[in-house]
Amino acid sequence: MSLRGGTTFLESVLQTLKRAIELGGYPQEVYEILSRPPQRIITVNIPVRMDNGKIQVFTGYRVQHNNALGPYKGGIRFHPEVTLEEDIALATVMTFKNALNGLPYGGGKGAVAVDYKKLSKRELEELSRGGYARALAPFIGPEVDIPAPDVGTDPQIMAWMVDEYSKIAGHNVPGVFTAKPVVLWGGNPVREYSTGFGVAVWAREAAKKLWGGGIEGKTVAVQGFGNVGYWGGAYWLEKMGAKVVAVTDSKGGVYNPNGLNLAEVKAVKDKTGTVMNYDAPGTRKITNDEVLELPVDILVPAALENVIHKGNANNIKAKLIVEGANGPTTADAEKILHSKGVWILPDLAANAGGVVMSYLEWVEDLQWYFWDEEETRNRLERILLDTFNRVMNRWSKLGTSQVTIREAAYVEAVDRIYNAMKVRGGWI
Ligand code: NAD
């Protein structure tokens, strides 16, 4: 279970929620409604005939946290260590992430306890299609709950699931899963880089406010060179004019104060499996601890949780931290960094590009009308900019020295959910 400053992930999310409710002056009942339990928890038993002829039973969950704003939305995680509590925490975060980004969605999250790397392709298809999609079919749908990939799941799995659901419905239902492959309804090249693009847009906009002059020439260090780290921390930030000086992956990384040649680093990573094998004049190897403490303007943690903690917060030199990963900063570290004037762009805002892209894909699916890459990216950027501006306005109203950007983002999210619940009536 993830920890943020010694508490569980769920406790930490609920603490931030409590604080947001106080800061926004909302009634205490809002906490009761949005804390726990979620509106619905579905547990499914998934028997799969394995290649050795035996039946193996997997446990799956779908947590539907709150749907005041619209259908539940959130990914499906395939991982051996998933727990129901973690799934509840992730579904809860999705409620706030979707609300914050102005999407007409509530929060949901699904999980199956499985080490997918140990399954054959046929077993994985059977688990995804026959098991998860069929078992959950009565509880999901384009107007009810729209899953997407998360850790351990991908567009191929979404394609199997949308196919299975469509067979049950008796007609094609593209809008029930998002992040489908490019060839299927609304699948779009933007999907691949949407989260990273969002990270870069948030960094660019924050840099304008923080430094006036903008992002050109600002130095960047990136922890994690996967989907989010490569596209967000590196590719798009470089395209926007920043200078990426350090990148790492699970093995460690490379640093060149004069800037890295990203195309070359990527080629080495693709060929050899790690950026560590990149070698060029002026470049030296660094560890995953060092990358966080380099003398740079912008730090993008895009790998793991809890990497910025009270033990290293005082050594961090970046003035702007952009959370590509989920939960990379502990609550203790955030306090220290906030008191030093460091801006932390929180995960539920900075890494929301993927879910916003999912929203666009769903809108396309509902109308069977599809946009090209440029139009889709422009629409994505407009939504991200709108969220950025709302969060910054809220932060400035609440007082930037007393309140963190994360707290301001939560107030912004709760405000939408609270007002929707209030005007709909029934609860408040
Ligand atoms: P990924 O698997 O593509 O990449 C992860 C990267 O982290 C890899 O380069 C890996 O080598 C590196 N890594 C692993 N262990 C490390 C360590 N100890 N130190 C440094 N680097 C290490 O994953 P991703 O999709 O890029 O996701 C990264 C983070 O972003 C996760 O927290 C994920 O939850 C979050 N996130 C991803 C998306 C998305 O759309 N992909 C959306 C929102 C949030």
Give yes or no: residues 145 and 249 share one domain: no
pTM, rounded to two decimals: 0.92
Residue 149 alpha carbon, nearest atom of ligand 1:
40
* pLDDT on residue 355: 96
Residue 228 alpha carbon, nearest atom of ligand 1:
26
CA distance 35 to 37: 7
Give yes or no: residues 145 and 253 share one domain: no
Set 73, 97, 109, 180: catalytic member = 109
The answer for residues whose C-beta is within 8 angstroms of residue 209's C-beta and 6 or more apart is 392
Whether 123 is in a domain gets the answer: yes
Residue 326 alpha carbon, nearest atom of ligand 1:
32
Give yes or no: residues 115 and 223 share one domain: no
Give yes or no: residues 147 and 205 share one domain: no
For residue 325, report the distance from its CA to the centre of ligand 1, in Å.
6
For residue 250, report the distance from its CA to the centre of ligand 1, in Å.
9
**Alpha carbon nearest to ligand 1 atom 8, residue:** 226
* pLDDT on residue 7: 63
Domain endpoint, select from 152, 184, 201:
152
Give yes or no: residues 137 and 59 share one domain: yes
For residue 113, report the distance from its CA to the centre of ligand 1, in Å.
19
* pLDDT on residue 205: 97
For residue 229, report the distance from its CA to the centre of ligand 1, in Å.
7
For residue 333, report the distance from its CA to the centre of ligand 1, in Å.
20
How many folded domains does the chain comprise? 2
CA distance 266 to 76: 28
Residue 352 alpha carbon, nearest atom of ligand 1:
43
Give yes or no: residues 89 and 232 share one domain: no
**Alpha carbon nearest to ligand 1 atom 14, residue:** 250
Give yes or no: residues 202 and 256 share one domain: yes
Residues with CB under 6 A from ligand 1: 195, 223-229, 248-250, 288, 302-304, 324-326, 351, 354
* pLDDT on residue 426: 67
Q: Which of the listed residues 109, 227, 276 should we mutate to test ligand 1's pocket, taking the one with most ligand atoms within 8 A of CB?
A: 227
Give yes or no: residues 199 and 148 share one domain: no
For residue 347, report the distance from its CA to the centre of ligand 1, in Å.
13
CATH of the domain at 134: 3.40.50.10860
**Alpha carbon nearest to ligand 1 atom 4, residue:** 226
Q: Which of the listed residues 228, 249, 290 should we mutate to test ligand 1's pocket, taking the one with most ligand atoms within 8 A of CB?
A: 228
**Alpha carbon nearest to ligand 1 atom 43, residue:** 351
Residue 305 alpha carbon, nearest atom of ligand 1:
32
* pLDDT on residue 403: 95
Give yes or no: residues 110 and 220 share one domain: no
Residue 324 alpha carbon, nearest atom of ligand 1:
30
- Retrieve residue 250's tokens: 């699970």
Whether 362 is in a domain gets the answer: no
CA distance 300 to 302: 6
Whether 416 is in a domain gets the answer: no
For residue 231, report the distance from its CA to the centre of ligand 1, in Å.
11
Q: Which of the listed residues 151, 250, 262, 294 should we mutate to test ligand 1's pocket, taking the one with most ligand atoms within 8 A of CB?
A: 250
Give yes or no: residues 96 and 242 share one domain: no
Give yes or no: residues 123 and 216 share one domain: no
**Alpha carbon nearest to ligand 1 atom 31, residue:** 325
CATH of the domain at 289: 3.40.50.720
For residue 223, report the distance from its CA to the centre of ligand 1, in Å.
9
Domain region containing 106? 37-152
* pLDDT on residue 76: 93
**C-alpha count within 13 angstroms, C-beta hemisphere, residue 375:** 8
Domain endpoint, select from 294, 317, 350:
350
Give yes or no: residues 226 and 336 share one domain: yes
The answer for residues whose C-beta is within 8 angstroms of residue 281's C-beta and 6 or more apart is none
**Alpha carbon nearest to ligand 1 atom 30, residue:** 325
For residue 302, report the distance from its CA to the centre of ligand 1, in Å.
5
Whether 169 is in a domain gets the answer: no
Whether 410 is in a domain gets the answer: no
Per-residue pLDDT of the chain (428 residues), as tens digits, is 444 445 677 888 898 999 999 999 999 989 998 987 899 999 999 999 999 999 999 999 999 999 999 999 999 999 998 889 889 999 999 999 999 999 999 999 999 999 998 999 999 999 999 888 999 999 999 999 999 998 889 899 999 999 999 999 999 999 999 999 988 887 788 999 999 999 999 999 999 999 988 999 999 999 999 889 998 878 999 999 999 999 999 899 999 999 999 999 999 999 999 999 999 999 999 999 999 999 999 999 999 888 999 999 999 999 999 999 988 998 889 999 999 999 999 999 999 999 999 999 999 999 999 999 999 999 999 999 999 999 999 999 999 999 999 999 999 999 999 999 888 886 54
Whether 376 is in a domain gets the answer: no
Catalytic, 271? Answer no
**Alpha carbon nearest to ligand 1 atom 17, residue:** 250
**Alpha carbon nearest to ligand 1 atom 38, residue:** 195
